Amino acid sequence: MRPTSLISRTAFAAFCLAPWMAAAQTAPGASQPNAAATRPSGGAAQQQARAGQQDVAQQCLKDLQAFRDQVGQDGYWLSGYRRGYGWGWTGGLAAAPSATTPGGAVAGATPGSTAAAPWGNVNWRMAPARALNALQNAAVVMAQRGNEQGCQVVLNELRGSYDQYAKDMRDAGVKPGEVNSYRTQQLAAARPVAQMQGGFRADNITDTDLRNPQDQYLGNIRDVIVNPSSGQISYVVVERGGFLGLGEDYVAVPWKQLSATPQMDAFVLKAKPETLEQAPKVDPESFASASGYSTQTQQIDKFWQQHGQGG
């Protein structure tokens, strides 16, 4: 039996946005480049085709990074807003549901939580992070294809969506300081995952912040690895660093070393950022073979046995 890896949402988001992205390739009134003038010729074209390489829209990637920095500085922590399955689409115009916790309670009323979620009075149809990540991924796809103009079109939509979410927070009377205070209290109340009551949905785990008790950001949980023998989660794959699709590092962290906040809006690891920088990098795809799984787990387990209590 092969180890199982849950696929990330990036490819799915790009697939769903493909028609819209295609329309963004050329804005109305924009001139078309001369194909003969821009197409590589001879051996250069064949080499480029074999390598599957294209010029990257560097300026748009830099603008995307600046946007991400702005979001972090604003401090609304939209990734902490969690809700249930799907995108909130009901096929009609029914009222949008309130944000809910994994147990179904209205956000801010979860038994055992130390504070009401600051966005409990905000009524979003879907989790902001899900919508914003989909747009960001679409922009990165355009940038990777060398389409500067298309990338900038999607980036403008991304900015507009974020501005609306931030306005909703301000209109609800939410201040960034309140969000930071709430997150700090949630991290302090985190419990080891082995002690959590009830089950974990993959949707509650992936695309969730990994932080340490000092509220330092350690990365984003992108995937989970299931042990083929026990059927239990053995590791989470944490995405770190990189530049919007370029050069990310992936680190596997043992599931049992994690704690979860009461509302499962973040996972907690007792480790310093430097520890994850030193952790062995993994290729998530290599877990799919028995030999790859065995090799990776030996390296991962050895490292975390030595560094698992730092933080």
Q: What predicted TM-score, i.e. pTM, was given to this entire model?
A: 0.69
Residue tagged 């029914």 (tokens) = 94
- The structure tokens listed for 6 are 């849950």
pLDDT band at 258 (very low <50, low <70, confident <90, very high): very high
pLDDT tens-digit series, residues 205-234: 888 899 999 999 999 898 999 988 888 899
- The structure tokens listed for 172 are 């609800």
pLDDT band at 39 (very low <50, low <70, confident <90, very high): very low
- Helix 58-74 with 148-171: angle, nearest 10 deg: 10
Mean pLDDT of the chain: 74
Name the DSSP class of 208.
E
What is the average per-residue pLDDT within 256-277? 91
What's the gap between Cα 15 and its chain centre? 17
Name the DSSP class of 310.
-
pLDDT tens-digit series, residues 77-120: 887 776 655 444 443 333 333 333 333 333 333 434 446 777 76
Domains of the chain, first to last: 192-307 (2.30.30.240)
Q: Is 295 helix (H, G, I), strand (E, B) or coil?
A: helix
Nearest residue to 181 (alpha-carbon basis) of 68, 103, 77: 77
| Residue 88 and residue 97 in contact, taking contact as beta carbons nearer than 8 Å | yes
Nearest residue to 253 (alpha-carbon basis) of 228, 286, 219: 219
∠ at Cα 220 (217, 226), nearest 5°?
Answer: 130
Predicted confidence (pLDDT) at residue 23 exceeds the cutoff of 60 = no
Predicted confidence (pLDDT) at residue 269 exceeds the cutoff of 90 = yes
**Alpha-carbon distance 110 to 191, whole Å?**
15
Q: Strand pairing partners for 235?
A: 225, 254
